[in-house]
Amino acid sequence: MGVPRFELLEPVTYEEASRLISAHETIPLAGGTAIISMMRQRLFNPSHIVSLHKISGLGGVSPAKSGGLSIGAMATLRSVEIHPAVRSQYPLLSETLSSVANVRVRWSATVGGNLAHGDYRLDPPGALIALGARVRLGSARGERELQLEDFFRGFFETAKEDDEIILGVDLPPTDEEASGHYLKFTSHASADWPCVGVAVYIKENFSGKCESARVVLTAAAQTPLLLEGVDEILSGEAVTEAAAQKVADLTHSQLDSIEDSSGSTWYKREIAPVLVRRALLEAARRKPKARDERRKN
Ligand SMILES: Cc1cc2nc3c(=O)[nH]c(=O)nc-3n(C[C@H](O)[C@H](O)[C@H](O)COP(=O)(O)OP(=O)(O)OC[C@H]3O[C@@H](n4cnc5c(N)ncnc54)[C@H](O)[C@@H]3O)c2cc1C
């Protein structure tokens, strides 16, 4: 089925885009991978759409003022996945992005569109939250930013106001003692949406003891779940089987699981701790090269 007719508006600033969105009670268009299929299915039938493609400064990956990395909202998932700085400094993000759909979708889908979509099954928010990302929002009323874990509010519900545009995502500097892993479990085909995804980012000290760790589950609940109490268990400890199991047990009390075609609430509750334990052990096994080399000296 074709896409219904609409008028495409092409502002050149995000403030103008914000005003047009309010005036026409419509939404912005980025890569179109989500919107166009919704329009084809007649789930959404706007008279106007506001394209973000002519707004400068929304794309690309660049060093952030904080010393970390700034990713523009219009950067495609694939361009971020293969960016040299992302591959070398944030391999957890590159690994996670490589698990999304297929290369064709990833060359169109954007980082801003992915987050704004607010689907609880999205893969990238897990890694971004584990890495401590902040999201920048802008509108005709001004700019603001918030921790990404505070952006997701409920089932397809985010903290973004209707007239706000996601401008980008900022990642704090990485630590060369840190390592991570994204474990995506799919119950149908391998290139499918996750049944449950687990992103782990851990920082160990020189003697192999954990200093801090963040564990985030995606697709398991209505919003990405950043497990609480992980540092209390792992801080000062090596990530052993027993320690990883204690962290995995946290999911029992914190996960209010959601049912979908990939798994029942019972199934997701059962599989989530298994994946958390495996993801933690794999992240700990992936010792950064720098740490191993220093230990040898
Ligand atoms: C076949 C297929 C398989 C997929 N599999 C996966 C998967 O395995 N894992 C996964 O994580 N995702 C998956 N996706 C989803 C995909 O990641 C999202 O559709 C995509 O990231 C949305 O980005 P977009 O740029 O195309 O957004 P669009 O379709 O352009 O927009 C999506 C929503 O975001 C809003 N929006 C877009 N940009 C902004 C912005 N900068 N500021 C404010 N609002 C904005 C739009 O108004 C719209 O509401 C899949 C999609 C397809 C089509």
Show pLDDT as tens, one digit a residue, over the chain (297 residues). 789 899 999 999 999 999 999 999 999 999 999 999 999 999 888 999 999 999 999 999 999 888 899 999 999 999 999 999 999 999 999 999 999 999 999 999 999 999 999 999 999 999 999 999 999 999 999 999 999 999 999 999 999 999 999 999 999 999 888 999 999 999 988 788 999 999 999 998 888 899 999 999 999 999 999 999 999 999 999 999 999 999 999 999 999 999 999 999 999 999 999 999 999 999 999 976 555 565 565
The ligand 1 atom nearest the CA atom of 114: 21
Q: Is 56 within the bounds of a domain?
A: no
| Same domain flag for 183 and 163 | no
| Same domain flag for 14 and 94 | no
| Same domain flag for 199 and 269 | yes
Q: Whose CA is nearest to atom 33 of ligand 1?
A: 117
Last residue of a domain, one of 121, 138, 171: 171
Q: How far is the CA of 174 from the centre of ligand 1 (A)?
A: 26
C-alpha to C-alpha distance for 260 and 155, rounded to whole angstroms? 13
b/e map of 1-32 (b: 16 or more CB within 10 Å)? eeeeebeebebeebbbbbbbbeebebebbbbb
C-alpha to C-alpha distance for 127 and 133, rounded to whole angstroms? 9
Pocket test for ligand 1, best of 18, 26, 93, 100 (most atoms within 8 A of CB): 100
The whole model's pTM is what?
Answer: 0.96
Q: Are 135 and 149 a contacting pair, CB within 8 Å?
A: no
Q: Is 164 within the bounds of a domain?
A: yes
Q: Is 161 within the bounds of a domain?
A: yes
The ligand 1 atom nearest the CA atom of 33: 26
Q: Whose CA is nearest to atom 37 of ligand 1?
A: 113
The ligand 1 atom nearest the CA atom of 30: 30
Q: How many domains does the chain have?
A: 3
**For residue 147, what are the β-bridge partners?**
134
Containing domain of residue 267, as a range?
Answer: 178-294
b/e map of 53-63 (b: 16 or more CB within 10 Å)? bebeebbebee
